[in-house]
Amino acid sequence: MISVATWNINSVRLRLPIVERFLAEEAPDVLCLQEIKCQEHQFPYEALAAAGYEHAAVHGQKGYHGVATISRLPLKEYSRHDWQANGEARHVGVELEGSGMRVDNVYVPAGGDEPDRDINPKFGQKLDFLSRMTDWAGDIEGGGHKTGTLIVGDFNIAPLPSDVWGHKQLLKVVSHTPLEVDTLGRFQAAHDWVDLGREFIKDPDRYYSWWSYRSKDWTANDRGRRLDHMWASPALAAKASGHRLREDIRSWEKPSDHIPLITEFDL
Please compute, for residue 44, the number of CA atoms within 13 A of its CA located in the half-sphere on the CB side: 17
The CA distances from residue 46 to 7, 18, 53, 71, 115, in Å, are 20, 16, 9, 13, 41
Q: Looking at residues 184-196, what average pLDDT do you find?
A: 97
The share of the chain scoring above pLDDT 90, in percent, equals 94
CB-based burial label for 34 (10 Å; 0-12, 13-18, 19+): buried
Dist. CA 220–CA 194, nearest whole Å:
32
Band of the pLDDT at 215, cuts 50, 70, 90?
confident
For position 216, what pLDDT does the model report? Answer: 79
Q: Looking at residues 92-116, what average pLDDT do you find?
A: 96
Phi, psi (rounded to 5 degrees) for 131: -65, -40
CATH number, residue 24 = 3.60.10.10
CB-based burial label for 20 (10 Å; 0-12, 13-18, 19+): middle
Q: Looking at residues 103-114, what average pLDDT do you find?
A: 98
CB-based burial label for 112 (10 Å; 0-12, 13-18, 19+): middle
- Yes or no: say if 177 and 171 are a contact pair by the CB < 8 Å rule: yes
Domain range for 181: 2-265
For position 146, what pLDDT does the model report? Answer: 67
Angle between helices 178-191 and 121-138 (to 10 degrees): 20
Q: Is the pLDDT of residue 98 over 90?
A: no
For position 145, what pLDDT does the model report? Answer: 60
The share of the chain scoring above pLDDT 70, in percent, equals 98
Per-residue model confidence as pLDDT tens digits over 35-48: 999 999 999 999 99
For position 5, what pLDDT does the model report? Answer: 99
Q: Looking at residues 123-131, what average pLDDT do you find?
A: 98
When divided into structural domains, the chain yields a total of: 1
Residue 57 CB coordination number (10 Å) = 23
Band of the pLDDT at 100, cuts 50, 70, 90?
confident
Per-residue model confidence as pLDDT tens digits over 75-97: 999 999 999 999 999 999 999 99
Band of the pLDDT at 142, cuts 50, 70, 90?
low
Q: Is the pLDDT of residue 144 over 60?
A: no
- Average model confidence (pLDDT) for the chain? 96
Residue 78 CB coordination number (10 Å) = 13
Q: Is the pLDDT of residue 196 over 80?
A: yes
